[in-house]
Amino acid sequence: MTSTSELSDRTTMVVGASRGLGRGIATAFAEAGAPVITAYAREEASRAGLEITFTAVLPRITPLTDLGRPAVAAEAARSGQTEQEFLQQFGEPLTPEAAGAALVELMRADALAVAPAYLLTGAGLRELS
């Protein structure tokens, strides 16, 4: 288990933290001791003159969330595939727990070494160029 003060010097912003992957990510950050700023607080952070860096993390579609289930069904139908066939091209599905763990690891990294954008999959983070 991660120490509750391990990430206390970092601040995170999680968009969509009320459910699904966002909730798993926000929960993992909070358990690791990182203060979490959600999207509604972004303007206040800017107004306060906080020096915040942003890294985009784009989660791959997953059937394990309320948003992902209908999206997978629609994309599979559009491509003439079954949902199972459609999902096979992506490998292991992204779970909320895996998303949270991957992003806590990203927060542990040296801020200067963090890329501007990542794809988040069931296999973890992949830097986007």
Q: 8-37, pLDDT tens digit by residue?
A: 677 666 777 666 777 778 778 777 766 665
Give Cβ neighbours of residue 122 (< 8 Å, ≥ 6 apart).
60, 62, 90, 91, 92, 93, 94, 95, 98
DSSP 38-79: EGGGHHHHHHTT------EEEEPP-TTSTTHHHHHHHHHHHT
Helix (H) or strand (E) holding 98: helix 96-108
Arithmetic mean of pLDDT over the chain:
78
Q: 38-55, pLDDT tens digit by residue?
A: 444 555 666 788 766 567
Q: How far is CA 114 from CA 29, 38, 117, in A?
A: 17, 20, 8
Q: 57-111, pLDDT tens digit by residue?
A: 878 888 888 888 898 999 999 999 999 999 899 888 888 899 999 989 998 998 7
Quick one: which of 31, 101, 26, 99 has its CA closest to 60?
Answer: 99
Q: What is the pTM of this model?
A: 0.59
Domain assignments of the chain as residue spans, ordered by start: 12-61+92-127
